[in-house]
Structure 1
Amino acid sequence: MEHSLQRLNAAQRVQLWVERITECRSSGKNVRTWCREHEISEKTYYYWQRKLYQQMITTAETVRFAEITCQEERVPNTGATAKISLSGATVEIYPGADTQMIRAILQTLRSC
């Protein structure tokens, strides 16, 4: 139980720093000025920026591929080019689907 609470707290800290770094970058101010205004040490800011970057790289390196087989007799013809079911969610991709939308869907499924 305590371990899951620690994980929750860690996830909350990560989310807080994602928000802070995003806010700093979109403020138009340099890091030193933004940190001073928000009473945050520059050293802490850069520590978290590096930590989040490394976490992003690690996550990107763990991308896995799976073979998808088409079983036409089991899938009703809905006009979809592909049908993906994962963790209780089903996604149907139709001809002409926007590439950016497909990427966003796959990224969301990957985080499940």
Structure 2
Amino acid sequence: MDLSSLTPDKQVKLQYWLDVIRQCRASGLTNQIWCEQHDISLKSYYYWLSKIRKLALEELPRKKNGIHMCTDQQSTALTESPAEFAELSLPDRNISRSTPAAILHIGSITVELYEGTSAQMLENILKAVQSC
């Protein structure tokens, strides 16, 4: 199924479920609890999650080949841009790495956090732990 072949009604429904899935994931709750709290059938949630994943996988080869499907059903060729490198700062060598500043025990998972751990890194760690 191609995004451009969807009727406007189906595009609206797809966008609705995409928003539902994003809200559920952002909530930090399990899918089951979130769906119960929002009166959404868990079966419908997983049906649409599967459908959206399938559409996303079908879109990957198009994007890789330089084609992007716009929401107004017009396709536009993307020009390839040269690779760029981002400058990264090295962590402060004076920060002691031997003793963690905090240790989190979440179920069977243990996470050790050291001084200088960025907020972004902490957020990524918590998201990864949440998905386990």
Q: What interval of TM-score do these two structures reach, taking the shorter chain for normalisation?
A: 0.5 to 0.7
The alpha carbon displacement at 1:18 in A equals 0.6
The alpha carbon displacement at 1:64 in A equals 2.2
Task: Give the match for residue 65 of structure 2.
Answer: 64
The unaligned stretches of length 5 or more in structure 1 are 1-5, 67-85, 99-112
The alpha carbon displacement at 1:37 in A equals 0.8
Task: Give the match for residue 31 of structure 1.
Answer: 31
- 1: CA distance between counterparts of 2:31 and 2:16? 17
- 2: CA distance between counterparts of 1:61 and 1:51? 17
Deviations 1:38-73 (A, max 9, x none): 11110000000010000000011234259xxxxxxx
- 2: CA distance between counterparts of 1:17 and 1:65? 27
Deviations 1:62-99 (A, max 9, x none): 34259xxxxxxxxxxxxxxxxxxx96xxx8x7xx797x
- 1: CA distance between counterparts of 2:40 and 2:15? 16
Q: What is the one-letter code of the residue matched to 1:26?
A: A
- Percent same amino acid among aligned pairs? 26
Distance 1:59 1:39, change over 3 A: same
The unaligned stretches of length 5 or more in structure 2 are 1-5, 68-74, 87-132
Distance 1:15 1:65, change over 3 A: closer
Cα RMSD of the aligned pairs, angstroms, is 3.3
Task: Give the match for residue 11 of structure 2.
Answer: 11
- 2: CA distance between counterparts of 1:44 and 1:57? 20
Query: By percentage of residues, which structure has more helix?
Result: 1
Where 1:29 maps in the other structure, the secondary structure is coil
How many residues were matched structurally?
Answer: 73
